[in-house]
């Protein structure tokens, strides 16, 4: 987190999701029987106009359909079933808390994490849930800055922009911080901020 003296008023929230997966899920687009992209972690950080980081948000989410995480996703994310059972909350509670953290600010993620949230709302029959705030796919903005992120992940944004990655790759909060740090580095080098009018 950036020194609070350098942080201005929050203007957006950068977030990242981790969700259930098994060996081969990505290649098969989660189309094998019984496989769903159930969210298991939401990590987020408030950013100011220059993408300096402020308050963070990190919640583990208990999947309803496949409540036991696969060894594959445990290795990938570092999230174990024991931690999930001890600290995880239901998706409905996590979603409400995430919206409260966002406070209506625009949200930004690497790729289409907004669609994963929409899929979870449908999967769990949450038709009356509040909508997400306005969404921006960071990969489009990064491509406009000359960064080809095809085949890469949120954890790769900071290193691609010349900033070291800190933390655990494929951890929701650490990956959100990577996206924010990468964008901040590009802004510092003269890029127009993603949400600039």
Domain coordinates in residue numbering, the chain: 4-135
H/E stretch holding 46: strand 39-47
Positive or negative: CA dihedral 195, 7, 107, 171: positive
Sequence-separated (6 or more) residues with CB below 8 Å from residue 34: 65, 66
H/E stretch holding 60: strand 53-60
DSSP 32: S
Homologous superfamily of 4-135 in CATH?
Ribonuclease H-like superfamily/Ribonuclease H (3.30.420.10)
- 3 pLDDT band (50/70/90 cuts)? very low
pTM score, whole prediction = 0.94
Indicate the average pLDDT of the chain.
94
Query: What dihedral angle (degrees, nearest 10) is formed by the CA atoms of 166, 143, 59, 9?
Result: 90
DSSP 61: B
Structure tokens at 123: 């999967």
DSSP 27: T
Structure tokens at 180: 């924010």
Predicted pLDDT at 5: 55
As a whole number, mean pLDDT of residues 75-90 equals 96
Please state which of the ranges 30-34, 153-157, 165-169 shows the lowest mean pLDDT. 30-34
pLDDT digits (tens, 9 = 90+) for 28-46: 888 889 999 999 999 999 9
């Amino acid at each position: 987190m950036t020194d609070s003296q350098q942080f201005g008023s929050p203007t957006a929230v950068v977030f990242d999701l981790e969700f259930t997966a098994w060996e081969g899920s990505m290649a098969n687009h989660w189309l094998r029987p019984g496989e769903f992209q159930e969210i298991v972690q939401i990590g987020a950080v408030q950013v100011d106009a220059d993408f300096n980081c402020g308050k963070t948000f990190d919640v583990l989410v208990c999947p309803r359909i496949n409540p036991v995480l696969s060894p594959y996703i445990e290795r990938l994310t570092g999230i174990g079933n024991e931690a999930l059972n001890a600290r995880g909350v239901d998706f409905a509670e996590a979603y409400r808390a995430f919206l409260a953290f966002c406070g209506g600010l625009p949200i930004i993620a690497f790729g289409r994490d907004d669609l994963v949230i929409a899929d979870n709302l449908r999967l769990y029959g949450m038709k009356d849930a509040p909508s997400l705030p306005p969404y921006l796919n960071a990969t489009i903005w990064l491509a406009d800055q000359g960064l080809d992120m095809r085949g890469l992940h949120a954890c790769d944004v900071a290193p691609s922009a010349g900033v070291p990655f800190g933390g655990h790759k494929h951890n929701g909060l650490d990956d959100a911080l990577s996206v924010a740090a990468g964008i901040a580095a590009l802004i510092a080098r003269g890029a127009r901020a993603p949400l600039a009018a």
